[in-house]
Amino acid sequence: MNHKVNILGSCVSRLAMLDGDLTGHGIADDQLALGYFLDKQNIICAVMPPPFPREDVLAIRQEELWDGSRWKSLQQCLNKDTIQLLLDSDADYIVMDFYDIQADATIFGDTLFSSCAFEFFNTALCRSHGGPQAFQNVNFCNLPSWLWYAYADLFFEKILPKYDADHIILNRFRSNTYYLSKTGSIEKIPDAFKQPFHSNDRYNDALRRFEDYIIARYHPYVIDLSSYFMGDNTLWENLNGAHFEREFYRESFDIIKDIIFHQPEKRLYNQPRLMDASRRGYEEDRKRPFDVELGLKMLPSFWEQNDGLWLNLLDKLVTYAPGDARVEHCKKLCQDRLPNA
């Protein structure tokens, strides 16, 4: 039986459904069809009133935007079409992530809206209302939960009659702090990729609390793997904190397919297949450069912080320096925390 899937979120989930192929289309499995990919919209803004008349939004021209591919997304965000599109869709699953909770939303009058990575501020519609200086931006992660969590409840109240908990897959998201460089070193994400319209690791704790709230109330299937992975400059030129190593997308896609095709009783998937040389894509991944000496220096700090990247670094060390006595010593010290230990 074929299934149709809507994606509500970002490239975190979109690329998972493409198995990490940045040039792909649709979904990387013939038994799955893509319904809507609804991006640049967060579920809080989605339930609030539209800020402008529909005809004014539809008058926005594609050439007004920095990135013309965002034209339909901007219109969806401003017209607040997200929920109705989901309800009218013939898809039977939603894969969602909350990347856009970390990006600033825009205040206008008595409502809030997603500006589609600030694309709205390039439009004649924005200028007709006084230009960017006439609008205020706010980040939900800086606000007390009682001001905005209830809007998430309203969103779920609207979609649950169509998509019950067994048909919602939440792909949890942690914005990257580090990335693998083209020379194999582990570097910090530059501040240039932490603009108000990007995700930002400073908001990771707030987003995790929000995800915990949603999971406790609505019991979706949960994929919780992003904290084990980092950015990858060998795959991505854009070092946005939502751009991960291809292993993340492969593992997420395998889990999504297992959920859709088998409806397992298991609800939480939080163990990556790191430290497993039989995993899909392993031979491709090991072709990337990796600085073993730097990895050995950085591993203890991730271990002490209980940051999931310790497992990622150990996996790389075992892959790139098999038999190295220092690596074997690290592996022995970490043995109790290894998957399936």
User: How does pLDDT run across 189-205, given as a tens digit for each residue?
Assistant: 999 999 999 999 999 99
* Tens-digit pLDDT profile for residues 161-173: 999 999 999 999 9
Phi-psi region of 189 (alpha: psi -120 to 50; beta: other; left: phi over 0): beta
Residue 100 confidence (pLDDT): 97
Q: What is the pLDDT of residue 39?
A: 95
Considering the entire predicted model, what is its pTM?
Answer: 0.96
Residue 38 β-bridge partners: 8
335 pLDDT band (50/70/90 cuts)?
A: confident
Of 73, 7, 4, 82, whose CA–CA distance to 40 is shortest?
Answer: 73
Which whole number is the average pLDDT over 110-136? 97
Report the C-alpha gap between 77 and 115 in whole angstroms.
7
Using pLDDT thresholds of 50, 70 and 90, give the confidence band for residue 281: very high
Rounded Cα gap, residues 40 and 117, in angstroms: 7
How does pLDDT run across 54-79, given as a tens digit for each residue?
999 999 999 999 999 999 999 999 99
What is the pLDDT, as a whole number, of residue 336? 82
Please, are residues 40 and 71 in contact by the beta-carbon 8 Å criterion?
no
- Interatomic CA distance for residues 188 and 231, integer angstroms: 9
- Angle, CA of 252, 253 and 254, to the nearest 5°: 95
Q: Is the pLDDT of residue 251 over 80?
A: yes
Contact 201, 226 (CB under 8 A): no
Phi-psi region of 211 (alpha: psi -120 to 50; beta: other; left: phi over 0): alpha
> Does the structure show a pLDDT above 60 at 284?
yes
In contact, 291 and 183? CB cutoff 8 Å: yes
Mean pLDDT score, 313-317: 97
Confidence of residue 1 (pLDDT cuts 50, 70, 90): low
Count the neighbouring beta carbons within 10 Å of the beta carbon of residue 300.
Answer: 13
Rounded Cα–Cα distance for residues 111 and 80 (Å): 11
**CATH code given to domain 3-272:** 3.40.50
Whether the Cβ atoms of residue 208 and residue 224 lie closer than 8 Å to each other = no
Q: Pairing relation of β-strands 186-188 and 268-269? A: unpaired
Tell me how far apart the alpha carbons of residues 30 and 256 are, in angstroms, rounded to a whole number. 14
* Domain ranges (residues) in the chain: 3-272, 287-341
State what percent of residues in the chain have pLDDT above 90. Answer: 97
Q: Tokens 């339909």 map to which residue?
A: 72
Q: pLDDT tens for residues 43-54?
A: 999 999 999 999
The mean per-residue pLDDT over the stretch 88-100 comes to 98
Residue 341's pLDDT band (cuts 50, 70, 90): low
pLDDT value of residue 339: 79
Residue 108 phi, psi dihedral angles, 5° rounding: -145, 120
Residue 151 in this model has a pLDDT that exceeds 80: yes
